[in-house]
Amino acid sequence: MGLVDYSSSDDDSHTSPDEHTQPPAKKPRTSAPNPNIPSPSPSLTTSTSVSTSTSLPPLPSSFHNLYATTVRPFTADLPSLHQGRKRLIPHVEGNWPSHIYVEWHPAPAHHEALSSLIRSLQTELKSLLLSAGAGKEEGEGNQQLTSFLTSDLGAPLPLHISLSRPFVLRTEQKDAFRDTLARRISSLGVVPFELCIPQGGLAWFRSAEASRSFLVLRVRAAYVQLGAAKERVNPQLATLLAACNEVVAAQGQPRLYAHSSGGMGVGEEEEEEEDLDGGGVRPVDDAGEGVDGAFHVSIAWSFAEPTDEIRARTAAVFAREEEVREGAMENMRILVDGVKVKIGNVVSDVPLTEKGGKRSGGNRALFGF
């Protein structure tokens, strides 16, 4: 049986390079453009791509309710997990900490303007806040200015206008309370409205119970109905507050601003470890505007007690930021198209009724509404 005749390695070495060269890949066949079909213009292509990227509808406001509460690893009060803040309403099984408020998600430009203001204040006030906080008891040594605008991971957070103090409901009260509140607010006939930040609206307020100071933006109605009393700067919020107080008081819980003859009232805050001031902080510079002048949005906090120098420096920084940003904060508008009620870790929407009986925000039946 004969052996297979393999070619030697020498034969390979003398093989022409052309024999090992791969044939060139064939070019894809393209047909000639049809002169009868006009090609799309670059501007049309660009506008189409931009339209596609921005045509997605915005998320419904109820989507934010799903992630309104962070996970709590412990039920016990551990201030070390919350920057030294203490829970004033102790955790009791069967009790549900609750709160009624208006939620505001600042637009990106507004969020950046507020963030820039807080960054400037953190730099300008650092030494003053440390001096003002000297001698505080252990656990309250964090005198820096802490922002409410972003989470620990840098994600934007919603801001709040309180319509109640934090209060407690029993398990058997939850459903009836939600239903009663929804019916009461719907019966008011308050249509969606806008709020604005008045000139000089930045102020420091002090919470006596929690020993915290809050940097807040006062809010007022952007448009006041013709013929309305001049002193009613927040007629819609005042109407909503009265209804919320009525429903809360029926459960034996304290009202918000109930003892306020001017400003935000004394000692009305019941604060938890959440980033909510409860709305009842005592004003350091009470303007005497009654309940109408009490509504505000908290944007930062500190354990230090504000001094006259801190307030003066804060006003100067605010004026400088407004000049640089051409009145960005005073031009802000806060749309109020509903009220939120938080019971435990469940947040529900109570939409305001638009003209003609239509409920704003469409169907918000995520949690029974």
Q: What is the pLDDT of residue 363?
A: 40
Distance of CA 161 to the CA centre of its chain: 10
pLDDT tens digits for range 125-149: 999 988 876 555 544 456 789 999 9
In the predicted structure, residue 183 carries a pLDDT above the cut 90: yes
Residue 59: DSSP 8-state: P
What is the DSSP code string of 270-297? ---SSS--TT-PEETT----TGGGT-EE
Q: What is the pLDDT of residue 44?
A: 42
Neighbours of 327 (CB within 10 A): 13
pLDDT tens digits for range 206-247: 876 667 899 999 999 998 765 555 567 899 999 999 999 999
Q: Which of 105, 110, 160, 259 is catalytic?
A: 160
Cα separation, 351 vs 183, whole angstroms:
11
Q: Which residue did the predictor score with more confidence, 220 or 68?
A: 220
Q: What are phi and psi of 110, to 5 degrees?
A: -70, -40
Are 160 and 101 a contacting pair, CB within 8 Å? yes
Are 61 and 102 a contacting pair, CB within 8 Å? no
Tokens of 317: 């920084």
Domains and CATH numbers, the chain: 98-167+194-333 (3.90.1140)
Return the closest-CA partner of residue 125 out of 207, 215, 198, 208. 215
- Catalytic status, residue 259: no
Cα separation, 150 vs 152, whole angstroms:
7
pLDDT tens digits for range 90-128: 678 889 999 999 999 999 999 999 999 999 999 999 999
Sheet holding 282-283, edge to edge: 146-147, 296-302, 212-218, 202-207, 282-283
Residue 61: DSSP 8-state: G
Does this model's pTM top 0.85? My answer is: no
Q: What are phi and psi of 36, to 5 degrees?
A: -85, -10
